Amino acid sequence: GTPTALMVGSGMGAEKGILIRNGEAVQTFKDVDLIAFDKTGTITKGKPEVTDIIASKGFEDKEVIYYAATIEKASEHSLAHAIIERAKDNSISLGEVQEFEAITGRGVEGTVDGAWIYVGNRKFMEEKGITFEEVEEKLITLEEEAKTAMLIAKDKELLGVIAVADPIKEDSQKAIQKLESMGIKTAMITGDNQRTAKAIGKKVGISHVISEVLPDGKVDEVKRLQKEYNIVAMVGDGINDAPALKQANIGIAIGTGTDVAIEAADVTLVRGELSSIITAVNLSRLTFKKIK
Ligand code: ADP
Ligand code: MG
C-alpha cells in the first residue's frame, strides 16, 4: 500500500510542478488544517517598485533618492533593489558608502559623504530619535494602498518618504480562495507593517494576518498556529523562512526563492505558483483515499 502510493503521488507531483523531497508530506497534505504564507516573494512577486517619493520641505526628490539609494547599495533587501533601480531610471549617480549596518526588521544606517543616513520603518526612526509626525498621515494613506513606505533621514532630520509596491502574483488570490473553499484555513506571516500586510491580505482573501514579525520570530508564530490549528503548512521563499519551514508539519518552498528555503522544505513549488498547493492537497486526498 503506502510506498507505492507515495511513489505514484510523488511522480504525479513532479509532472505538475511540485517537487517532493519528503514523501511523508504527500500523506500529510490531506490532513492540513492551516497554510501560513510569507508575504514578499510568496504571495507577492517579490519585485517591489518605487511608486511614490515625498520630499520633506527644503529637500528635493533627487536628494531623497540619492541618499537612500547610495546607502541601500550595501543592502541585499528587495526594498533596496527597488530604490537603486529608481535612481538608475532617474539617472542619479550614487555616492560612496563609508559606515554601514543593516538592522533586521528595521532598516539600514550608515554614512554617505560624511553624513549619517537612515532608511527604514517607523520603529527604526523612533529608536534613532528621528521625528516624522509631519508625514504620518501620508504614511497611512500609502499603507492602505498596500504599499510599503520607508522613511529617509539625514543626520537625524527627515529627508522624506519612499514608497514601494510589490505586485501580487497572478494566481495568489484564486489559490487562497480555493484553499479556503476546501476547508483549509490561511494565514500570512510578514515582517512588513500591519496596515500594508492587512491591505495585501484583503486583496487575496487572507483574514488572519500576522505582521511586524522579526525574521527569527516566524518559527514561533508557526508553533503558536500549530497549538491552535494542529496541522500547519508554511510556504516561504526567503532565508529567514527556513526555520519556519522546518517547524511546520509541511514546509513548502517557492522554487524561484532561495536555496536555503528549498533545502529546508519538504516540498518545492517549482514554478512558484500557489495554485500548485491545491494540486498537492488533491493529490494527497486522492492517493490516500485509494489505499484505505
Ligand atoms: P519582509 O521581507 O517580510 O518585508 P523584513 O523583516 O525583511 O520583512 O523587513 C521588515 C521591514 O523592515 C520592512 O518592511 C522595512 O520597513 C524594514 N526594512 C528592512 N530592510 C530594509 C532596508 N534594506 N531598507 C529599508 N527598510 C528596510
Ligand atoms: Mg519572502
In order along its 292 residues, the chain shows pLDDT tens digits of 344 445 445 566 666 789 999 989 989 999 999 999 999 999 999 999 999 999 999 999 999 999 999 999 999 899 999 999 999 999 999 999 999 999 999 999 999 999 999 999 999 999 999 999 999 999 999 999 999 999 999 999 999 999 999 999 999 999 999 999 999 999 999 999 999 999 999 999 998 999 999 988 999 999 999 999 999 999 999 999 999 999 999 999 999 999 999 999 999 999 999 999 999 999 899 988 755 4
Name beta bridge partners: 210. Answer: 189
The residues near 109 (Cβ < 8 Å, ≥ 6 apart) are 71, 99, 100, 101, 103, 116, 117, 118, 119, 120, 128
Q: Cα separations (Å) of 43 from 37, 62, 122, 142, 233? A: 7, 32, 24, 19, 15
| Interatomic CA distance for residues 241 and 47, integer angstroms | 17
Please provide residue 191's backbone torsions phi and psi, each rounded to the nearest 5 degrees: -85, -10
| Interatomic CA distance for residues 286 and 276, integer angstroms | 15
Pocket test for ligand 1, best of 192, 210, 212, 219 (most atoms within 8 A of CB): 192
Residue 75 CB less than 6 A away from ligand 1: yes
Structural domains in the chain plus CATH codes: 2-45+168-290 (3.40.50.1000), 49-165 (3.40.1110.10)
Could you tell me the three cell numbers for 104?
533586521
Residue 150 CB less than 6 A away from ligand 1: yes
How many angstroms is it from 230 CA to the middle of ligand 1? 30
Q: Predicted ipTM?
A: 0.95
- Ligand 1, atom 6, residue with closest C-alpha: 105
pTM: 0.91
Residue 23 CB less than 6 A away from ligand 1: no
Pocket test for ligand 1, best of 106, 126, 189 (most atoms within 8 A of CB): 106
How many angstroms is it from 257 CA to the middle of ligand 2? 8
For residue 10, the model assigns a pLDDT of: 58
Residue 79 CB less than 6 A away from ligand 1: yes
**If we measure between CA atoms, which residue out of 229, 232, 236 comes closest to residue 264?**
236
| Interatomic CA distance for residues 257 and 263, integer angstroms | 11
Please provide residue 140's backbone torsions phi and psi, each rounded to the nearest 5 degrees: -60, -45
Please provide residue 105's backbone torsions phi and psi, each rounded to the nearest 5 degrees: 70, 5
Spell out which residues have Cβ within 5 A of ligand 2, the ion. Answer: 38, 40-41, 237-238
How many angstroms is it from 116 CA to the middle of ligand 1? 19
Could you tell me the end-to-end alpha-carbon distance of the chain, in angstroms, rounded to an integer? 9
